[in-house]
Chain A
Amino acid sequence: MNAGKEPQNWLMYSGDYTGRRYSTLHEIDAANAGKLTPKWVYQTMAGGKFETTPLVVDGILYGTGQDDRAFALDARTGRPIWQYQRGLPGDIRPCCGRVNRGLAILGDKVFMGTLDSHVIALDTKTGNVLWDVSAVDYTKGYSFTLAPLVIKSLVLVGVSGGEYGIRGFIDAYDANTGEKKWRFYTIPGPGEPGNESWEGESWKIGGSPAWITGTYDAETNTTFWTTGNPSPSNRGEGRAGDNLYSNSLLALDPDTGKLKWHFQFTQHDEHDYDATQVPVMVDDGGKKLILQANRNGFFYVIDRTNGKLIRAESYAKVSWAKEKDANGRPVPAKEGLPTLEGNKVCPGAAGATNWMSPTYDQQTKLFYVTAREQCDIFSTAPQPYDAGHAYYGSAYFPNDDAAPFYGALRALDPNTGKIKWEWKHPSPTWSGVLSTAGGLVFTGDAEGNFIALDAASGKALWHFQCGASIYSSPMTYAIAGKQYVAVAAGSSLFTFGLP
């Protein structure tokens, strides 16, 4: 799949294999963005968070909705071609809303991970189910919420369930048949390197889910995936050690699932600082990099040929780490750990950012990320493990003294880690960011606005009130030379274009 050759299409979750969420489309630009107008709205009529990034292939838009809906629409008019609603069992236990972030596509099939831990293939023309395989027992707290990633003829998915004491994994299925080709456990088993980073049997219930879509470097045939928190998320007692490969960047061979190298962002995490942010591939001169603005508040620049850290600079308020190790990696500070009665730590439990996608603009060479300025009070208490039941080790609380919390879209310079500009949001948001060759970045906010900003200056050029907080990452496509921008908000998918 070469997304660069067909900019009119949006072929995968992040637009292309680099994870940049950048489009070379430029009909809509800084000069005319003020004239953007709604083109159509598609309503799922579902409740909860609408997190999808739709795909568009040759004029047809493929998206997912809450409660495992899927749909194909005429991307010009928004009229449905087919709709799919999975019959979900009554006893699924997805952690954080009955959400789905999107599909992957190959040939005449779209692929979806489901809340009852199946991977399915739907026919692109009818929505008929072509194959349906169960990956794992959902009653133990496993689910799929991410958009799969297709590499060659394989469909890759990572599992959710870090709230349940699961053992995380990344799976690959044959796109034609649904046959499982490999599984990589994100927690090594006995005898494997890394298993010693877990105390006793804690590796069996150590979490480390992989719930955000990875990226892929065809040149080296390497796929990059990120992992989430060790379980229980707010309690380190009983799982002494670094807890590999939780909160890590993994470089895998997509043909075999073999690990090439790993880099752990937050070792022995007790703050739920999942590293599940899209690992963005950027080439800078001769350097092959991964950029990641992590939930833990640091912006990491990593050599993607070997996993070596080049730089880690904070891009939001941080108190969990006070110093860095010899390799420049921030290390947890004792005074930042959760306590029985609670301890104020920054960033808060939702992180300095979260799963919402950042973007890398190939023209400005800046990295744009949704930052959340919010500290929380983290507490911890012993909690017995019970399969399929929540396993947190206690809770966190808003730190009212630190109010008001706020959000910001921040433009980071990968060469220095410095903030070039920021657009302040009234409150923290869960919207991702899109950049385009029109010199624009698009993002949303918790107040319901979808906003176009000048990529160079951060000046807002246009906005539209969608009527509900935005919990998704925008995308763009074109039909017959006309560019559209789409974003999910509330229960509706909105598209905009020039008059």
Chain B
Amino acid sequence: MNVRPRIFFGFDFAVVILVCLVTASSGAAQAKNPYAGDAKVAKLGEFEFRANCAFCHGLGARGGGRGPDLTRTPKKHGDSDADIFNTINNGVPGTAMPPNGATQQGVGMTEEELWQVVTYIRSVEKKASTVSGDANHGRELYYGSAACGTCHMFKGKGGRLGPDLTGAGTARSTEYLTESLRKPSRRLAQGIIEAMKEFTEEYETVNVVTNDGTKYQGTLLNEDSFTIQFMDMREQVHSFDKASLKSLQKSRESLMPAYDEKVLPDKDLQDVLAFLVGGGQGGVK
């Protein structure tokens, strides 16, 4: 057929209702996983996971560019089996996580299949994250000498040029976060998600010279074939017709400097991670 779990982000209400009727018949699951701990069911869940979830969450649930590492605990949107069931079935509004079956390309899962996936996820979970840094020092670095806060908001405080990092510590693996700090251009962060649009925008770098010679540098907000929207270094939002510009260059070289070991020694890196993973609340000790 068409293609399978290419994820769409159009959370249409009618579709959500239909999906809930069609697949797992109600939004609220029974409280208990009927298959908890059953290795055979976990294996069945792995098939479902590969077909429906791995596109974003990666093989083995270890996370991909788009979805969080699900081998981590506790889960951000509720950690009981019923919570995980509901997260899969209903999606997480405001995030890239769609409701079950509403991907427009894949096949929705039945209630039985959802429990299989929950059982599978449980079977691959690892012990709680082992970030050993000092979260308080991480906070000092974030808003101080490391200057993360210049461009990244965290719980309402900080800049706007880069993505908000409030949820990054719980959504992303420490490996992903480390890579984002050490090699920010390796994998650009995802930007705006539009309903029904297959690909999200990314935090590409934009260099523009207007017809009157004004130069702007900034990060991409959105674009189509004819226009471009971006935020400049002074956090001003611009929109131009591409044809009206003297020059337009886009680059996948991030505006974020690479925090190598000279700039951010390993110990300090661990402290920043502890701050992010701990959600700013003193971190994981």
Contacts and interface: CB of A to CB of B under 8 A. Distances in A.
Contacts of A469: 194, 196-198
A395 interface: yes
**Size range of the interface on B?**
35 or more
B224 A95 contact: no
Contacts of A389: 110, 113
Interface stretch (A70-78, A277-285, A440-448): A440-448
B226 A96 contact: no
Contact of A48 (B2, B10, B108, B194): B10
Contacts of B46: 381
Given A95-B1, A95-B4, A449-B225, A427 B199 contact: yes
Interface in A438-458: 445-449, 451
A379 B2 contact: no
A383 B66 CA distance: 25
A479 to B, nearest CB: 30
DSSP majority for the B interface? loop
Interface in B55-114: 55, 58-59, 64-66, 104-108, 110, 113
A161 B1 CA distance: 6
A233 B3 CA distance: 10
A451 B1 contact: no
A168 to B, nearest CB: 10
Given A47-B13, A96-B4, A379 B59 contact: yes
Interface stretch (B14-22, B31-39, B259-267): B14-22
A379 B2 CA distance: 17
Given A96-B104, A342-B59, A395 B1 contact: no
B50 A394 contact: yes
A144 interface: no
A349 interface: yes
A298 interface: no
B253 interface: no
A297 interface: no
A219 interface: no
A383 B196 contact: no
A46 B14 contact: yes
A490 B12 CA distance: 11
Interface in A240-274: 272, 274
Interface in B237-280: 252
A465 B239 CA distance: 15
Contacts of A490: 195-196
Contacts of B233: none
A47 B54 CA distance: 25
A405 interface: yes
Interface residues of A, number: 66
Contacts of B125: none
B196 A471 contact: yes
B197 A447 contact: yes
B14 A47 contact: yes
A426 interface: yes
Contacts of B198: 427-428, 430, 446, 469
A463 interface: yes
Interface string A62-74: 0000010000000
Interface stretch (A25-33, A185-193, A299-307, A396-404): A396-404
A14 to B, nearest CB: 19
Contacts of B187: 400
- In order of increasing CB-CB distance, the 7 nearest A-B pairs are A47-B12, A447-B224, A96-B2, A97-B104, A162-B1, A390-B107, A427-B199
Interface of A: 46-49, 67, 90-93, 95-98, 160-164, 209, 211, 228-229, 233, 272, 274, 341-342, 349-351, 354-355, 379, 381, 383-384, 389-390, 392, 394-398, 400, 403-405, 425-428, 430, 445-449, 451, 460, 463, 465, 468-469, 471, 490
